[in-house]
């Protein structure tokens, strides 16, 4: 009997010891998990409050030709930054401001800066169209003009100012310089801007939709004038070496002919289209011409140059619209008039589409900075926000600074012949000059 009682006591002790060990292990696991959760929560709160070791102070610059949507991007970056306790500053007049170290604080609580700017055209921090700091125009004491690489001054300015990231709002030239700065150790995030819609690796740039809207509105007005006076109305639009604006506005504005850089045109094809319309009783026609359009076997019409006059980015296009109008008048006998839309495409209030697009781009850019993803360009691919390496945007232009022809440009996105816009234009009878 005593043996059995003792055996039972030993069994119970072993069972207790086993249970204690089992639950002790469970308790230890809970403590470890709690610590991990606590670390995650604290890190999240720190990032939310702006205590991130990665990004505390950022700068924005707008560069290149002005577009509608600049301010919407700036606002989105600033608002997203403020949500995470990050301070924002803006360099005045693009890369030129970076070279001069001229910057201002940006805040949505300051009505003079980043507040109330969503519908406002242009850029509250200015911009520059001829400030390639890797090939910068310098006038010496003797009056002689030379071009120098002053990028190291910009690098020192960024480092001395304590900026953790530089946001570059601009087109192909701007993003090429951004890539070059990244190779010099600067954290850069690009945002694709241009009315031309020609930045590589993205489906659309901010500012483009507004430019197309302006061009389409102009075509509507030219349509009534042409119909009233039995004229050929030619509209020259911007776009440089790509035909996005010309093609899309031609479809939206009901044009009969659209001449784009990607398709060297035969003027006789345009004449055939206009004569066919006249045979049908329509004694007027609407023609859209991209500034970079050129005839078969011919060259692009150049209005002038800037800086040292060499390189793609220093060439000012324009004048092809008047040439086409004169030729069409001579060959058809119909009175022709040319309207050069020019800077009307750049200014004014952004469309709702561009406001949303710009806000998405700006917010995404700041989000990437908070994640520590630098030296990239925010893009939209297949309708989704994403980012690509600035190296991919630059493409073959790998040399830092001035590449062939003293140009600072990256790859240029042109209209592909299998694009839906091309197919649609052909399907509805728009003559593309081929």
Using CB atoms within 10 A of its CB, is residue 310 exposed (0-12), middle (13-18) or buried (19+)?
A: middle
CA-based nearest residue to 311, from 302, 320, 319:
302
Q: Is the dihedral of CA 284, 286, 292, 295 positive or negative?
A: negative
- Asked if 193 and 117 touch (Cβ cutoff 8 Å), the reply is no
Question: Cα–Cα distance between 221 and 214 in angstroms, integer?
Answer: 11
Q: Which of 270, 416, 415 is nearest to 334 (CA)?
A: 270
Question: What is the chain's length?
Answer: 434
Please name every residue paired with 380 in a beta bridge, in sequence order, or none if there are none. Answer: 385
Q: Which helix (H) or strand (E) holds 27?
A: helix 2-48
196 is catalytic: yes
Q: Three-state DSSP class for 316? A: strand
Catalytic residue among 164, 172, 196, 313: 196
Q: Determine which helix (DSSP H) or strand (DSSP E) holds 236, and give its type and residue range.
A: strand 232-237
**What is the bridge-based pairing of β-strands 188-192 and 232-237?**
unpaired
d(CA 244, CA 261): 10
Residues forming the active site: 196
């Amino acid at each position: 009997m005593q043996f059995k009682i003792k055996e039972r006591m030993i069994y119970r002790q072993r069972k207790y010891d086993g249970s204690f060990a089992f639950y002790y292990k469970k308790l230890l696991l809970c403590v470890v998990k709690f610590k991990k959760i606590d670390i995650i929560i604290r890190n999240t709160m720190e990032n939310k409050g702006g205590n991130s070791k990665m990004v505390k102070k950022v700068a924005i610059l707008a560069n290149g030709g002005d577009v509608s949507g600049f301010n919407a991007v700036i606002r989105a970056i600033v608002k997203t930054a403020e949500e995470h306790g990050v301070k924002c500053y803006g360099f005045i007049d693009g890369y030129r401001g970076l070279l001069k170290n001229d910057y201002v604080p940006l805040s949505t609580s300051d009505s003079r800066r980043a507040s109330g700017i969503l519908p406002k055209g242009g850029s509250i921090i200015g911009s520059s169209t001829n400030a390639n700091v890797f090939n910068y125009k310098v006038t010496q004491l003797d009056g002689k003009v030379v071009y120098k690489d002053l990028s190291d001054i910009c690098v020192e300015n960024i480092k001395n100012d304590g900026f953790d990231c530089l946001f570059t709002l601009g087109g192909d030239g701007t993003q090429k310089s951004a890539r070059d700065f990244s190779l010099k150790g600067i954290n850069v995030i690009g945002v694709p801007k241009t009315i031309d819609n020609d930045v590589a690796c993205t489906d659309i740039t901010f500012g483009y939709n507004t430019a197309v809207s302006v061009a389409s509105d102009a075509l509507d007005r030219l349509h009534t004038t042409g119909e009233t006076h039995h004229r050929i109305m030619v509209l020259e639009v911007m776009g440089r070496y790509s035909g996005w604006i010309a093609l899309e506005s031609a479809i939206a504005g009901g044009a009969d002919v659209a001449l784009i850089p990607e398709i060297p045109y035969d003027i006789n094809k345009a004449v055939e289209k206009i004569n066919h319309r006249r045979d049908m009783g329509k004694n007027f026609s609407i023609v859209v011409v991209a500034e970079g359009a050129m005839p078969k076997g011919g060259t692009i019409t150049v209005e002038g140059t800037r800086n040292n006059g060499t390189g793609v980015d220093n060439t000012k296009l324009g004048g092809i619209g008047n040439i086409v109008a004169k030729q069409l008048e001579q060959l058809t006998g119909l009175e022709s008039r040319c309207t050069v839309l020019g800077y009307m495409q750049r200014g004014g209030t952004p469309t709702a589409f561009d406001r949303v697009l710009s806000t998405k781009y700006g917010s995404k850019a700041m989000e990437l900075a908070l994640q520590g993803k630098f030296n990239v360009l925010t893009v939209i691919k297949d309708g989704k926000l994403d980012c690509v390496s600035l190296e991919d945007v630059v493409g073959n232009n790998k040399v830092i600074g001035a590449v062939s022809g003293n140009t600072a440009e990256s790859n240029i996105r042109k209209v592909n012949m299998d694009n839906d816009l091309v197919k649609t234009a052909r399907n509805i009878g728009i003559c593309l000059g081929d």
